Amino acid sequence: MKARTTEQAARAAKMSRASLQEWIRLGKIAAPPVQLVKGKAVRLWNAADIKCLRTVKATIYRKGRGRKAKREGGGRRTRSENAALAASFSGEVSGGFNTTYMDSGFV
């Protein structure tokens, strides 16, 4: 197997390149060293590195919970659900408008 770039390695492990780069930055996975290829800095992943990546991904990616379940009833939250969610954080429910802005005379 030939050497692969970080993007190709991420695709082989069925994850995004951004996630792989974040895991490298956080030290969750040991990445191959950066090499210069035609004046461009790249990491070249071999088969053993990709196998290790898949193993690490299986242990930490969503921690075995799989994909998040769809919301009951499907679709997006309603305005009342959003207001209730906002109230749980702020302690009060407003009418959905920024009354401070409305009372300022700019409207």
- For the four alpha carbons of 98, 99, 102 and 103, in that order, the dihedral sign comes to negative
Which carries the bigger pLDDT value, residue 72 or residue 81?
81
Residue type, 74: G
* Percent of the chain residues past pLDDT 70, beyond the cut: 66
- Per-residue pLDDT tens for 30-74? 889 999 999 999 999 999 999 999 988 888 776 656 666 666 666
Q: Judge: domain 6-64, CATH 3.30.70.
A: no
pLDDT of residue 93: 46
C-alpha to C-alpha distance for 41 and 36, rounded to whole angstroms = 5
Q: Is residue 104 scored above 60 in pLDDT? A: no
Confirm if 41 and 54 have CB atoms less than 8 A apart.
no
